[in-house]
Amino acid sequence: MIPVLGLTGAKVGVLGLGRSGLSAARALREGGAVPIVWDDNASARERAEAEGFEARDLRKAMDELTRLVVSPGIPHLYPTPNPVIAAALRAGVPVDNDIGLFFQSLGQGWDAFDVTPKVITVTGSNGKSTTSALIHHLLESAGRDSQLAGNIGRGVLDIDELINGSVVVLELSSYQTELARSLTPDVAVFTNLSPDHLDRHGGHGGYFAAKRRLFAEGGPDRAIIGVDEDEGLFLANQLAEGPGDDRVIRVSSGSKLTGPGWQVFARKGFLSEWRKGRQVASIDLREVTGLPGAHNHQNACAAYAACRAVGLAPRQIEQGLHSFAGLPHRSQVVGEKDGVRFVNDSKATNVDAALKALQAFPKIRWVCGGLMKEGGLEALEPGCANVVKAYVIGCEAEGFALQLPGVEAEICTSMERAVAEAAKDAQPGEVVLLAPAAASFDQYDNFEKRGDDFVAQVEKLL
């Protein structure tokens, strides 16, 4: 656990008692603060009370609070602030989250280390979980002490106490970067940007602004920026003092990057690192089975750059890439039968992520559908050339199928039927791919449950 420092004796409200909320309450108490907690769910309050925390309606405690710590799923501005947060805003009580507490506390403890630890943060729309897990894997495979936390793995305040030279890798969502009052990573990664969570951020500009805080307010020593979209180009331009400023490492998948600065890019399956106008390393990604497709090659470039920024050699990174198995629900190869591969990419919950999955394989029996997001499905058209047929699931299956651009579609509704029909139709050399391009909440609690169902149906066939 990382005790929260700087709030000894202060009463701190904790709103939301899921993983990050309870973790924050424990870390606050460990650091000498006095947490007062609340969750609208009575069973969550009972669990907290069983650990000795005082549960009380925080709207009635604002005059006592020094700070309000909020879990990431609770809206603080758009579409409307949660009533407790609205009360805090009116009372002038600072609103924060566990990420802010982590950086606040970490910054007060550096004197204890001979070799100061490093913090690498990863944000973006797609690929941040894979990139974060890959950085963690590469560090561990090279013998560096590393912990993975944040939006993946453990809550950030639940990690073990740091040791000399260790590295903390944090995946951060826009919900987390938008609210944290302290953001001071050593290395910050921006993978890419595509429309997502727009209601929560008041539109595309607000969504980008939430991501940008990690770089503009965090001031990382090194910023690794995916420049395949305009927002990434803009962000890299804002952070660099000139073309040769190697505090910014530009990353691309598909485009050769030139200039006197520091670049890492992938083209035709090869990763290249260039610095000061010269190539310094190259890695063949085509045989890295845990990272299929151009979108995963972008993840590999970002992870490579982050590890180079903390001192790993290209050969160490290359060895680690080949032992990376990938993450569940993200281009996860479930199995193969009669020359047909089954791939679970349930995490492809938006159009951009699904498009990248479609572009990773040449002949696809596509299991898709779910709770559609804003913007429609037209942007999928470039990847639909690889689709032999779509098998549509979800409560909106008919409406979803009508929006698919130029694709033969069968309405299946259930995962069981979709997998069975796709497997029956599939020919050797084809891929049965779950890449929903939609949220899961019409039929499943989350994308993991949806992916688990796909895997279960495939395992029946295998």
Q: What pLDDT, in 10s, does the model give residues 309-364?
A: 999 999 999 999 999 988 888 888 899 999 999 999 999 998 988 998 999 899 99
3-18 mean pLDDT: 96
> Does 346 carry a binding-site annotation?
no
- The answer to which of 95-104, 134-143, 154-163, 224-233 has the lowest mean pLDDT is 154-163
> Does 130 carry a binding-site annotation?
yes
Answer for the pair 105, 162: CB distance below 8 angstroms, yes or no. Answer: no
Q: What pLDDT, in 10s, does the model give residues 276-287?
A: 999 999 999 988
**Could you tell me the pLDDT band of residue 10, with boundaries at 50, 70 and 90?**
very high
Domain spans, the chain: 11-96, 101-322, 332-461
Nearest to 95 by CA among 56, 61, 65, 63: 65
> Does 269 carry a binding-site annotation?
no
pLDDT for residue 417 is more than 80: yes
Helix crossing, 314-322 with 128-141: angle to 10°?
110
Looking at the structure, give the CATH architecture of the domain made up of residues 101-322.
3-Layer(aba) Sandwich (3.40)
The CATH number of domain 332-461 is 3.90.190.20: yes
- pLDDT of the residue at 395: 92
Separation CA 460–CA 200 (nearest Å): 39
- Does 101-322 match 11-96 at the fold level? no
pLDDT for residue 110 is more than 80: no
The rounded percent of the chain whose pLDDT value lies above 90 is 77
Separation CA 152–CA 411 (nearest Å): 34
pLDDT for residue 247 is more than 90: yes
| Burial 197-212, CB ≥16 within 10 A → b, else e | bbebbeeeebbbbbbb
> Does 174 carry a binding-site annotation?
no
> Does 244 carry a binding-site annotation?
no
Query: In whole numbers, what is the pLDDT of the chain averaged over residues?
Result: 93
> Does 323 carry a binding-site annotation?
no
Burial of 452 (C-beta count, 10 Å sphere; 0-12/13-18/19+): middle
- pLDDT of the residue at 205: 87
Separation CA 310–CA 294 (nearest Å): 25
Looking at the structure, give the CATH architecture of the domain made up of residues 11-96.
3-Layer(aba) Sandwich (3.40)
> Does 143 carry a binding-site annotation?
no
pLDDT for residue 405 is more than 80: yes
**Could you tell me the pLDDT band of residue 211, with boundaries at 50, 70 and 90?**
very high
Q: What pLDDT, in 10s, does the model give residues 49-78?
A: 999 999 999 999 999 999 999 998 899 999
